[in-house]
Structure 1
């Protein structure tokens, strides 16, 4: 049960990322917030067709992409990753993980300035938020893509619906524009005051139909940035 004397943090990102973020919040705030986890997406791994020719290196923009490609091939080699968590997952799976950029946009920017030689493969989700292949090809890279997983929508749990039907303020971190759209579809009849921490302005705009009580955009598009945004939201009075 959710403690009724505390504001509620509703985490809707897929596992294990949701539990990992919950751990960051507890380490920073203790039990100040009651945490409810109800993922709005779950990964489904796909039997992607891989290039017939060998590729020199791989680009990963998520840990799930690492797992998806690991299931399909024993090929390994250099891997360019959007952040340390993805690089750690790639290295653990046998690739030589290298962090390049904190998000997909910065990875593309870095490779546009200094394209890597040889053939590369981007292992991605079916509903990827950004197109990496087109700008990288325009920058001169030889790159293909493989859709190795999909994030299938899930409904909110009964516990999540219960807190949204209550009167206690609810804080919802939204880690992508798609998760924002899914949350809007699920929470249109929410009675509780809803406060949003968005990973980007695009994600914040996608949540606008809910008319959130407060919106805070993360200073950086990653988990530490989302935690910083949460702290700003609390400082602004989101628990009132």
Structure 2
């Protein structure tokens, strides 16, 4: 698992018992989240935009009061925001869907997009250009990490290595640091996440049908099943 440890553990815990019994889970975060020590000013702001659970957690750690509506991408981010006390509304599974929703419904503005230092979609800029004023503030850093020694050892073994990738940036990092010879099975949350992985010598790459944790779990389940059939010498479809 390549996500930050807490997010990886949540994902694994939500896999079925059958899937978990068929794999040995190795936690090797290749991205570390570090909240910044900044002051978030919300005077005059009419709502917040969260495009990741990391931004919600960073905002909460910085003492941002949950007294504004929050427009969120995806069920994980929305659930995290609700758990932290925000009146959170899921307005799409991607930044594109969030932008489309906000431009259609035109909530009171200005809005404030709290985000990491690396992000996709230029949410604030695109919305502002379209007449909905949105400010943005970076509230956390994303530091790339190498594989752990345990993960590095697995990459040179004979057993298949199955790696779920949840963002284009971690996919690029994974593609750069993978030097293993073990059979490689990849799951990408989106086509954009899959793109950096095409350069790798993999056995199979599966893209989730939707960029959601539920569809990622389903994709992992299918790939585990295929990998086990290959190990047993059976034909895959």
Q: TM-score, normalised by structure 1?
A: 0.88
Separation of aligned partners in 2, 1:81 and 1:239: 39
In structure 2, the residue matched to 1:93 is 84
Structure with the bigger percentage of helix = 2
Would the aligned equivalents of 2:40 and 2:64 in 1 still touch at CA under 8 Å? no
Would the aligned equivalents of 1:51 and 1:144 in 2 still touch at CA under 8 Å? no
**1:182 aligns with one of 169, 173, 196:** 173
In structure 1, the residue matched to 2:48 is 58
Separation of aligned partners in 1, 2:85 and 2:102: 23
Range with greater deviation from structure 2 (153-162 or 112-121): 112-121
Structure 1 stretches of 5 or more lacking a match? 1-10
Would the aligned equivalents of 2:160 and 2:227 in 1 still touch at CA under 8 Å? no
In structure 1, the residue matched to 2:137 is 146
TM-aligned CA distance change 1:195 to 1:52, over 3 Å: closer
In structure 1, the residue matched to 2:197 is 207
Would the aligned equivalents of 1:115 and 1:140 in 2 still touch at CA under 8 Å? no
TM-aligned CA distance change 1:28 to 1:148, over 3 Å: farther
In structure 1, the residue matched to 2:233 is none
Separation of aligned partners in 2, 1:213 and 1:238: 13
Separation of aligned partners in 2, 1:190 and 1:182: 14
Answering whether residue 217 of structure 2 is matched by residue 227 of structure 1, we say yes
Q: TM-score, normalised by structure 2?
A: 0.89
1:17 CA drift (Å): 1.0
**2:60 aligns with one of 64, 70, 80:** 70
Separation of aligned partners in 1, 2:146 and 2:20: 28
**2:114 aligns with one of 99, 118, 123:** 123
Would the aligned equivalents of 2:187 and 2:216 in 1 still touch at CA under 8 Å? yes
Separation of aligned partners in 2, 1:124 and 1:239: 41
